[in-house]
């Protein structure tokens, strides 16, 4: 796997994943990465292909997890969910208090918990659910008693039902061409010039990689994020209008 074009932190991740694969293969013991974001998950899949004797599985504590650990299992071992070294935590607070994702993450960072030790954070009304690695669980349970001015009661485990994951809002429109700046303009409702500026400034990721080329082609199924605006997916590329514009149906994740 050619890693010359990668950032140093990505090369370290790939090297670490390869070491885990070798350990699982040679010692017949399962190994696990920290929580990975979606871009990192795509990255390490290339390493797994180099070790066909082991089995890799991503799991983040619930079915729709965006942040997940990679479990690497030796030959003949079943990849079980309960083998993953992660723990769900439920945060209880008053229903009238407002506690969002950014608030919770900021409080965890204030406890010097690294981002890689925290999985998905699901805020709800009167409670929130998050997933953490086992080593940081005692810190969360004993020290996370306040988020801002809101009193918090952390409990290990899941509630009866998870908070809604947010879903998405559908966006429909037309673009003059399937270029990144055209798509960003449609999704953000900004001018083409402003959208091009966002791309050039490195504020847009396409398929989980920063893309600064305004003319980069986009396709059905692509996922992109625009800093300050949100995360989107190209759901469908439709036909061409009489004026030569291309119909698009996209999703904005909530």
CATH code (residue 234)? 3.10.290.10
- pTM, two decimals, is 0.75
CATH code (residue 133)? 3.30.70.330
Return the pLDDT at 2: 52
Domain that holds residue 60: 8-83
Coil, strand or helix: which one is 198?
helix
Q: Which long-range contacts (CB under 8 A, 24 or more apart) does 44-49 make?
A: 44/13, 44/14, 44/17, 44/70, 46/1, 46/14, 47/1, 47/14, 47/17, 47/18, 47/21, 48/17, 48/21, 48/72
Domain count, the chain: 3
Residue 90 and residue 78 share a domain: no
Query: Where is the domain boundary, 83, 104, 124?
Result: 83
Q: Running along the chain, 254 residues long, what does each successive block of 10 average in pLDDT? A: 70 94 92 93 91 94 92 90 96 92 93 96 91 97 94 92 76 94 95 95 89 93 90 90 92 83
Report if residue 100 sits inside a domain.
yes
Residue 110 and residue 69 share a domain: no
Tell me the C-alpha to C-alpha distance, in Å, between residue 184 and each of 174, 217, 222: 12, 12, 12
φ/ψ of 151, rounded to 5, equals -75, 140
């Amino acid at each position: 796997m050619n890693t010359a074009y990668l950032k140093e932190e990505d090369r370290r991740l790939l090297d670490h994943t390869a070491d885990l694969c070798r350990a699982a293969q040679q010692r017949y013991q399962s190994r696990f990465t920290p929580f990975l974001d979606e871009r990192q998950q795509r990255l390490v899949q290339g390493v797994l292909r180099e070790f066909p004797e082991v089995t890799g599985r991503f799991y983040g504590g619930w079915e729709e997890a965006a942040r997940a650990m990679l479990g690497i299992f030796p030959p003949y071992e079943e990849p079980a969910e309960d083998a993953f070294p992660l723990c769900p935590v439920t945060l209880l607070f008053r229903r009238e208090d407002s506690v969002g994702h950014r608030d919770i993450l900021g409080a965890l960072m204030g406890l010097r918990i690294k981002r890689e030790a925290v999985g998905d954070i699901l805020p709800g009304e009167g409670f929130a659910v998050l997933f953490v690695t086992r080593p940081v669980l005692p810190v969360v349970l004993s020290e996370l008693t306040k988020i801002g001015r809101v009193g918090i009661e952390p409990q290990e485990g899941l509630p009866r039902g998870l908070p809604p994951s947010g879903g998405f809002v559908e966006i429909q429109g037309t673009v003059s061409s399937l270029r990144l700046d055209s798509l960003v303009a449609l999704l953000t409702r900004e001018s083409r010039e402003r959208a091009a500026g966002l791309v050039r400034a490195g504020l847009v990721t396409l398929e989980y990689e920063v893309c600064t080329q305004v003319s980069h082609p986009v396709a059905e199924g692509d996922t992109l994020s625009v800093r300050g605006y949100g995360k989107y997916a190209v759901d469908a590329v439709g036909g061409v209008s009489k004026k030569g514009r291309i119909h698009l149906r996209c999703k904005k994740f909530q």
